Amino acid sequence: MIHLRESATVEFKQQLNDAVKREIIAFANTEGGDLYIGIDDDGLPLGVTDPDGVMGAVGDMIRNAIKPDLTPYTTIACESMDDESGTAHAVVHVTVLRGTKRPYYLAAKGMRSTGVFIRHGVSTVPADEERIRQMIRDADGMVFDTAVSVNQELTFDYASAVFQRRQLPWGEPQQRSLGLINADGLYTNAAMLISDQCRHTLKCAVYQGCSKTQFLARQEFQGSLLQQLDEANRYVELNNPVRSDVTGLYRNDSYAYPPTALREALVNAVTHRDYDYSGPTLISIFSDRTEFVSLGSLVKGITLPDLASGISQSRNTTLANVFYRLELIESYGSGIPKIMEEYANNSVSPIIRITPGAFTLSLPRLDTHHETGGNHAGGLSPNDNGQPTIGNRLPAGPPIHVEGNVQTAVLSGYPTGQGTGTLELVPAARTSNIRMPANVADHGEVAQQSSAHTLESLTLDLIAKAQTGISRMELQQELGINKNRAAYVLRKLEHDGSIISTGTARNTRYIAA
């Protein structure tokens, strides 16, 4: 007689019942295991009266009651086992391997706790929602919006109405082509996000003054992300007062914030946030600025200089494609340049703050600066020396690169942490011309180009002429530029592979690559 005990990978059932399905699912979702039908809890074989019928019923369960298909990971056999008296009994042995398409679940229940099971010690227990999401991520290796949604009972009343308003077809073929339904016929997380059952929210709050000391109003928006965008946009519009100036017979209306900048900031916050986090997207409205906070830092491989250059890598490609189809976004990477254009020729500028867990875009109020003429915590305004400041402090922001109509702000030094830093988006009106040194006066054609392009050309020219390379201080003196501009152009050229650095600290010199 073989003595067996129940364990994390061994389970006994005296007879065939519905619990067998849960045990098979639990093994497939955990580390695999062996299920014996015809053995009691003490490990004594009792046998089954109809082994062929039991094996057929178990096969039907695996094929029809469990999703995804678990057939390749299971075997069913009849084995003979002796009891203590030596009597042989027919026992059905089901071997279950750990599946590769976890989570496996009861087809009638779906991917929820009542349908997904795991092994915990010698017991089979329901998997909580976080464990289910983790299994999806581990098995698929997919980003959030392309992974299978835990909730498959989704409705799309609001999304359907939006597509209808835009005169766009909304049916299963379109949902498949958009990536809302995958090849197995299951809804993806992108579908969940625009469904009426979206579990993520967006919160707006209005504060008195420039800090979060006192609330004036707050509201939370739920439902489809499309609904949240519509309602949050209306809320932000209501908090964008219009100022009227009368000149003679004519009245000129101006908004506290450029409406296009508010819209782009809102859509960007919802489109590009990390939905693996369960927290809400936040909009905070202060007396001098409006901040949009979306969870998640920059996408891996994208840096702040890349962002400033208009390089974009969407974290939620499927969701972004849906928004693109609805014309909520025009193209990847266009949002930040649009916002910069809206703030051009103004004395205040937006600021991007990036931490490992959040992305914050702060839009300064235009009329606040106009009325008070002061420096505000949320926006940038020039100090007496013409330098931009944040409050009474000089920002750690970059100089500006202007080439034609393209405006790109790049950090004067790369952030020390992984994707952490502050990026100042400086309007073109605040750029200054570079003084042309006498020894490069023959660059007349270059002098007619943009200042940043000229700066790069002149720097490369000086480095090419120098036998031992050039230091940052020497570049400052030769071109008559400040420390930040010199550091900016050297790092940009080094990043582009045009030059390389030698030495360390104050002895660093730059030579042609």
Top mean-pLDDT range of 100-104, 162-166, 329-333, 418-422: 162-166
Helix (H, G, I), strand (E, B) or coil at 348: coil
Interatomic CA distance for residues 384 and 170, integer angstroms: 57
Structure tokens at 279: 């927290």
Q: 285, 258, 138: which is closest to 203 by C-alpha?
A: 285
**Alpha carbons 513 and 498: distance in angstroms, whole number:** 5
> Of 102, 136, 134, 131, which Cα lies nearest the Cα of 31?
102
Residue 475 CA: distances (Å) to CA of 338, 472, 495:
33, 5, 18
**pLDDT value of residue 105:** 94
- Can you tell me the distance from the alpha carbon of 333 to that of 415, in angstroms, rounded to the nearest whole number? 21
What are the boundaries of each domain within the chain? 10-139, 145-194, 202-430, 438-512
pLDDT greater than 50 at residue 428: no
Q: What is the pLDDT of residue 140?
A: 58
- Three-class SS string for 146-162? HCECCCCCCCCHHHHHH
Task: Point out the least confidently predicted range of 48-62, 155-169, 390-404, 461-475.
Answer: 390-404
- What pLDDT, on a 0 to 100 scale, did the predictor assign at position 303? 63
Burial level of 409, CB count in 10 A (0-12/13-18/19+)? buried
DSSP state of 84: T
The answer to whether domain 202-430 and domain 438-512 are alike in fold is no
| Weakest-pLDDT range from 23-32, 196-205, 314-323, 420-429 | 420-429
Residue 456: pLDDT band (50, 70, 90) is: confident
Please provide the average confidence, as pLDDT, over all residues in the chain: 79
For the range 242-248, what are the long-range contacts, defined as Cβ-Cβ under 8 Å and sequence gap of 24 or more? 243/367
Strands 10-13 and 33-37: parallel
Q: Which amino acid is it at 429?
A: A
What pLDDT is recorded for position 307? 63
Give the C-alpha separation, 98 to 319, whole Å: 32
**Per-residue burial over 127-162, b = 16 or more CB atoms within 10 Å of its CB, e = otherwise:** beeebbbebbeebeeebbbbbbbbbbebebebbbeb
More confident of the two residues 459 and 302: 459
Predicted local confidence at residue 476, as pLDDT: 78
> What does CATH list as the number for 10-139?
3.30.950.30
pLDDT of residue 312: 67
- How remote is the C-alpha of 333 from its chain's centroid? 14
Q: What CA–CA distance (Å, rounded) separates 307 from 335?
A: 11
- Cα-based torsion angle of the residue sequence 403, 405, 411, 417 in order, rounded to the nearest 10 degrees: -120
**Which is higher by pLDDT, 400 or 473?**
473
* 219 strand-pairing partners: 204
Rg (the chain; Cα; Å): 32
- Is 60 exceeded by the pLDDT of residue 436? no
Q: Give one DSSP letter per residue of 356-388, joined into a string.
A: TTEEEEEEE-HHHHHHH----SSS-EE-TTS-E
Q: Which amino acid is at 443?
A: H
Q: Which CATH architecture has domain 438-512?
A: Orthogonal Bundle (1.10)
Ranges 46-50, 65-69, 105-109, 301-305: which has the least confidence: 301-305
Q: What is the pLDDT of residues 53-85, one digit of tens each?
A: 999 999 999 999 999 999 988 999 999 998 888
The H-or-E segment that residue 243 falls in is: strand 242-247
* Contact predicate 341/334, CB 8 Å: no
Q: What is the pLDDT of residue 439?
A: 38
Strands 281-285 and 202-207: parallel
Range in 74-88, 122-136, 401-415 with the lowest mean pLDDT: 401-415
Output the pLDDT for position 400.
37
Highest mean pLDDT (candidates 65-79, 378-392, 433-447): 65-79
Describe the crossing of helices 451-465 and 483-496 by its angle, rounded to 10 degrees: 70
The residues facing 137 across adjacent strands are none
For residues 258 and 343, the answer to whether their CB atoms sit within 8 Å is yes
Residue with tokens 């906070």: 293
Instruction: Look at 143-157, 242-256, 291-305, 388-402 and tell me which has the smallest mean pLDDT.
Output: 388-402
0.85 exceeded by pTM? no
| Local structure of residue 396 (DSSP, 8 states) | -
DSSP string over 95-110: EEPPPSSPPPEETTT-
Integer Cα distance of 490 and 500 in angstroms: 9
202-430 folds as: Heat Shock Protein 90 (3.30.565)
Q: How confident is the model at residue 282 (pLDDT cuts 50, 70, 90)?
A: very high
| CB-based burial, 373-393: b 16+ in 10 Å, e otherwise | eebbbbbbbeeeeeebbbeee
